[in-house]
């Protein structure tokens, strides 16, 4: 079966219009009597159900016949249709928190490893040690931005970590 994105979208949009009610699955999209078209439609309903975008829909009997039940779009299906990903995107956001001490330690370690004269290292380490949490936060943002600006090096680094 070929995946028909247009048919998928049409099914989900019709279910969204009816939400929170169920819809007779066979009434979702005009389906002619062509058995291959029924098979495509049934496969699409099953595919969407397997991905958790709708509930119910179709049961395939042992002889290959389709039994149609009611369908209902799920929260994941509603979010899928939203341009911003809906609540799924919001709830799936990962927040990374670094304490000021951790940022400070990372910066101090980098200064220690740098090929600088001892007096320069000492002055930098002293300046880092006296930075406020807010100043560390701003410096960390700038360091991340600078790292992203060096994307080819960042990509090579990531490949090394992940392989």
- Domain residues of the chain, as ranges? 5-91, 100-162
Higher pLDDT, 32 or 94: 94
Higher pLDDT, 29 or 48: 48
What average pLDDT does range 3-29 have in this prediction? 90
For residue 20, whether the previous peptide bond is cis, meaning omega lies within 30 degrees of 0, is yes
> Which residues, 6 or more positions from 12, have their beta carbon under 8 angstroms from its beta carbon?
48, 53, 54, 73, 77, 80, 81
Phi first, then psi, for residue 56 (nearest 5°) are 75, -165
Q: What is the pLDDT of residue 36?
A: 59
Counting every residue, how long is the chain?
163
Q: Kindly report which listed range (44-48, 82-86, 117-121) carries the lowest average pLDDT score.
A: 82-86
What average pLDDT does range 60-85 have in this prediction? 89
- Look up residue 140 and give its two tokens: 């960390």
CATH superfamily entry for domain 5-91: Structural maintenance of chromosome 1. Chain E (1.10.10.580)
> Which residues, 6 or more positions from 63, have their beta carbon under 8 angstroms from its beta carbon?
none
Provide the sign of the torsion angle of the four alpha carbons 53, 54, 60, 64, taken in this order: negative
Rounded to two decimals, the pTM is 0.57
Average pLDDT, the chain: 85
């Amino acid at each position: 079966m070929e995946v028909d994105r247009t048919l998928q979208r049409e099914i989900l949009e019709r279910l969204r219009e009816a939400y929170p009610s169920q819809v007779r699955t066979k009434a979702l999209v005009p389906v002619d009597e062509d058995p291959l078209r029924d098979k495509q439609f049934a496969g699409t309903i099953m595919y969407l159900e397997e991905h958790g975008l709708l509930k119910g829909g179709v049961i395939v009997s042992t002889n290959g016949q389709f039994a149609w039940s009611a369908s209902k779009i799920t929260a994941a299906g509603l979010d899928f249709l939203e341009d911003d990903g809906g609540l799924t995107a919001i709830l799936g956001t990962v927040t990374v928190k670094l304490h000021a001490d951790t940022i400070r330690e990372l910066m101090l370690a980098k200064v220690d490893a740098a090929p600088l004269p001892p007096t320069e290292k000492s002055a930098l380490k002293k300046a880092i040690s006296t930075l406020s949490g807010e100043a560390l936060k701003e410096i960390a943002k700038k360091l991340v931005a600078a790292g992203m600006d060096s994307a080819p090096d960042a990509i090579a680094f990531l490949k090394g970590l992940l392989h």
